[in-house]
Chain A
């Protein structure tokens, strides 16, 4: 190496500079080699290598210096026409090169020799060149005594490789380069290195793939990654999707739960607070408090100085007050009109004046409100103005106090204008409510007498209150006189009013009550009372009158009830049926008739007998209230007229002997009915069924030839009904049959089940399947269980009716956090899964519950 260095320094002095500048322009191949060999890289070495490699390309460097013009040399330097020579003369250069690279120290002599050879050759060719004017290459071969054969039209080069190379026959390999070196001292090392290189596939850089392929590969890789990333979440997502309820009521810890908790962490910050704290926490004071408090007095002692200070302060305030009073008195005495006008004007303009005048106040408030709204909308004073922005951007607000103050003022204004306004409105609303209360006091207790009492009270108060103000405008004598006059008038009016009230209270109240009563009763009470009994009586009368035709017991009623009525007092007519039996019990007359009736019918005996025999409770039972049994026979006859079925059972069974069979002799009609039962009934039912079926599934009409239509000629007649019609009819018939077949009662001979659509009931069904369901069966099955608290044990009602999402108001839903899930885990329904914070939530809820209970 040292040799090489020397050479470069000696031979290429002029080039050195330019070469150094061109440093970055190293051919790629060289760089790669450098990288592959992984030699320790020094900057010098690199340079050496560069030079060395250049040497590889041509020892012509020397020639350049001597004869070749500048431009050519440059070209040659860049583009290696002369590289070709290198190929043709591999031995020399490789020798040199390899040696220079590999032999650290020992190769110096060899190098020198080679150099010497080189020099001689060069000199010879140069001479030849100068003689013949032919390119040096021609002579080089000559000089080496090798036959020169030009087989190619162009010299070989990067762009014109030899045919061998193209055919892949005679490609140069590392061995080719190494072969001649065998035996040289550095050879083994080099060969080892190369072998290592060959094995080391990692660092071999292949040609890049075409872009689409590369991209596809990239995509594939990315998809894999993304899939992995996503599949990680699948279980979580699935879990959440399939969870019957998702919980979002995570821990909402606001920090403090009580005022005490907040207060306990208070730290005094400002000076005042600190002072207060020092006083409050003063051990002496607290001790005194803890003791009997006697020491508190001692502590409370005020020093003389303080006392004097206090006194002076009070005196000063008093004198100030006095002065102010004097001043106001003086001002009040000023009679100048202009002065007052100006003063009034000032007052009006000032906010105070505005407040005094309601109209003005209103206007003012409106203006203020408008301003506030504008502020809130534009944020005009929040450093959004052009000026403010400029000031801020240039930092002028720091520089100048004036601007700083201005900006601060603006911000203050903004704060004022955009602050929530409560105070003013609150005040006004309270006032209003007061007024309303006052009004309500009058109106709520709506009794007129109360109202009047209130009015009276007020007038009295007014009477008492008419004192003349002894200061201000009203204190003026002429004003006072005027006021007095007015007051007198008012008083008189009030007195009159009072008198009126009293009058009303004495007489008017009663009057009004009376009228009220009259009007109230007129609607409901009196007339109803008058009319109701009349009606009932009429009704009952009607019953008895109309009952001739198909009355069940006309005879009885006609005979018995009349005398009862006669006995009864006129008042009895109005008594309703409910009171009837009591009346009967109380009325001896009716009782007698009843008893007589009982005896007459002959059932009394049996009755009592049965009473005795059956049970004692029977005595408790109802007493027959009305005499009816008297003429049972007659009633029975009439009954049997209108109600056959009823009549059969009406037996005065008491008289019949106990030994009599339960079997009753059926009537003739019934016997006949029984005998021929089922004869026509079934046929009738079949007919009915046919009818109903025809109605619900109409039978298609048979095609018929209408005379005059389609049967004019013999041929037409012969053809009969057209095929189309027949076919259509057959199709219809088929449909009809199908319709009959699908009916529920198709196989039930004895049943007709209506399949009419009930339009009113249609709204009780869904027309479409609700969303997640896709099959009717599944939907209907899922609907079969009621989920209400009436049908389920209370332990499960909650679970059954839990909403899909449980969330407390105000809880911020955080994004799903990744957590490891074992996909093989069965979903545990016992404890509703809530991906995130179930446990803390539960705790909080419990805590809250406790707090509440406290």
Chain B
């Protein structure tokens, strides 16, 4: 689809490649692959370590460079985009316009499927985007192969289905039904009934940890390990009922949106929330995470969508004017928001914040239930009250898939092998933390860190100042001598100084030096002759 949008002269044009540009691009990519700066080796005293680390850094640099080059030159497809002439706005472009321009294969991705009877549909994709699961509220579950639009299986469970989620691949999926949630196999056989969770409102699967997370009607958060079936954690959130739940793909932290306007983030190993954020004054209606884990979008009922930076926990942007019932980030970072029968896509093309990119009005009366970008495709899937529709959003999907991560063209043998690999690479639940890059680092000290030298000095100065500025009482005639007063003041200052520990390091070093020099002087006279003279 990405390729298809490329040679479209009307709206898009290909920029001629320029050496400089390429270099800049390569550098940017290299930086990405370097994952941060190397340590400052100048401070190291150990020469061996220094050179070893330096050579290591060199290797890292080489690796990053090679990776950047591979990404630049060897990846087969480039991302699609939408470019307008002059005053034309991208959000004015309708799906029908796009349909005219794109190739046949892409245009096949524009369709609506009308299933009026079983109510608003929830959607879920497998990691590769090959399979889609649709769960109608009134009990209709359908598993569709998106590649050939083949309905693999559909079943009717004859009770409310509140949410659906794929497990690690298309072979299993979970459905949150009226009373319990169930796990079904690809062919529709019911494999498990998960009674312990109670009536579940939302289901999410943590791929790397093999945990099925769910929040139920009474606001309990459950984590269940699907490999051996154990309930890893059940947490009472204490925030009341919620049906807003999303997983941060970067670190596996689960975020819940509450009616009090707070968003809480959880991990299975702690009963208390990792983070609580007051995001909105009213109830939170939707939460979504950027794939890189740094951005979070929330929507409140007060008709505002906010974008947060999760590294600083600060608000980056507020988008006024609409409230989203459902939010979703695409792989490339586009944000889709669905309300009523209207879907809006926001993009961050210039880097200055999210702004309108595209919009898609549905047939009036279609109530959007869930929007979701299809991975590795420029396709947005909208589950609504009358079935589901599919629209083209150029530039939303990652153009190149990594078959080690997710392969849409997976054969069954590959799938089986992948499953084994996934199981071997399964992460234990305690690895879920806000900053997983800290794994393997030094344990954060429990004691408070020692104040630095500068801090101590600053504090000392403040104390001395305070001591100096103390107003002395006027004493009786004989005792009010200025000499005495100055003496007293001096004493106070001295006392203030004393309370701070001496900055000893310098002295120690000095002492050491002196030991070397004056050793002879300190020796008894009879032994002086043996002192080493340099």
Contacts and interface: CB of A to CB of B under 8 A. Distances in A.
B532 interface: no
B156 A685 contact: no
Nearest to A658: B364
B365 A796 contact: no
Interface stretch (B17-25, B81-89, B123-131, B433-441): B433-441
Interface stretch (B1-9, B219-227, B335-343): B335-343
B160 A552 contact: yes
Nearest to B53: A782
A796 B63 contact: yes
Interface size class of A (residues with CB under 8 A): 35 or more
A347 to B, nearest CB: 66
Given A649-B385, A651-B367, A757 B63 contact: no
Contact of A673 (B116, B120, B277, B301): B301
Among B45, B67, B364, max chain A CB count under 10 A is at B364
Given A658-B364, A754-B275, A829 B156 contact: no
B431 interface: yes
21 contacts: A576-B189, A577-B190, A578-B189, A617-B111, A629-B117, A651-B385, A654-B365, A662-B342, A670-B301, A677-B302, A682-B278, A758-B270, A760-B269, A760-B430, A764-B430, A765-B443, A766-B441, A773-B49, A778-B40, A779-B441, A785-B34
Interface in A761-780: 761-767, 769, 772-780
Interface of B: 34-41, 43-49, 51-53, 55-56, 58-60, 62-63, 66-67, 70, 111-120, 137-140, 142, 149, 151, 153-160, 178-179, 187-190, 243, 260-262, 267, 269-270, 272-283, 300-302, 313-314, 325, 339-342, 361, 363-367, 369, 385-387, 404, 429-431, 433, 437-444, 446, 448-449
Contacts of B178: 543, 547, 551-552
Nearest to B273: A754
A748 interface: yes
A800 interface: yes
Contacts of A182: none
B365 A765 contact: no
Contacts of A752: 273, 275-277
A850 B356 CA distance: 63
B217 to A, nearest CB: 9
A607 B115 CA distance: 9
Contacts of B35: 784-785
B295 to A, nearest CB: 16
Nearest to B50: A242
Interface string A736-770: 00110010010010111110111011111111010
B26 to A, nearest CB: 14
Given A617-B149, A780-B441, 12 more contacts: A580-B155, A622-B142, A658-B365, A677-B280, A681-B282, A682-B281, A685-B260, A752-B273, A758-B270, A761-B269, A765-B439, A776-B442
A608 B112 CA distance: 14
B113 A581 contact: no
Give 4 closest A-B pairs by Cβ, nearest first: A678-B281, A653-B365, A781-B39, A677-B282
A75 interface: no
B281 A753 contact: no
Contact of B137 (A580, A614, A646): A646
B261 A610 contact: no
A685 B263 CA distance: 11
Nearest to A755: B444
Contacts of B366: 653
A662 B55 contact: no
A657 B365 CA distance: 8
Contacts of B270: 754, 756, 758
Given A577-B190, A621-B387, A792-B63, A678 B261 contact: yes
Contact of A622 (B59, B151, B281): B151
A604 to B, nearest CB: 10
Contact of A829 (B58, B385, B386): B58
Contacts, number: 299
A651 B385 CA distance: 7
A294 B41 CA distance: 86
A572 to B, nearest CB: 15
Interface string A664-692: 10000010011001110110110011001
A764 B158 contact: no
A111 interface: no
Contact of B52 (A244, A661, A692): A244
A621 B56 contact: no
Contact of B339 (A620, A662, A777): A662
A171 interface: no
Nearest to B268: A760
B59 A748 contact: no
Contact of A626 (B111, B156, B341, B369): B156
A792 B67 contact: yes
A336 to B, nearest CB: 80
Interface in A683-736: 684-685, 688-689, 692
Nearest to A649: B367
B59 A800 contact: yes
Contacts of A763: 430
Contacts of B188: 577-578
A297 interface: no
B272 A754 contact: yes
Contacts of B261: 677-678, 681, 685
A628 interface: yes
Contact of A800 (B39, B63, B325): B63
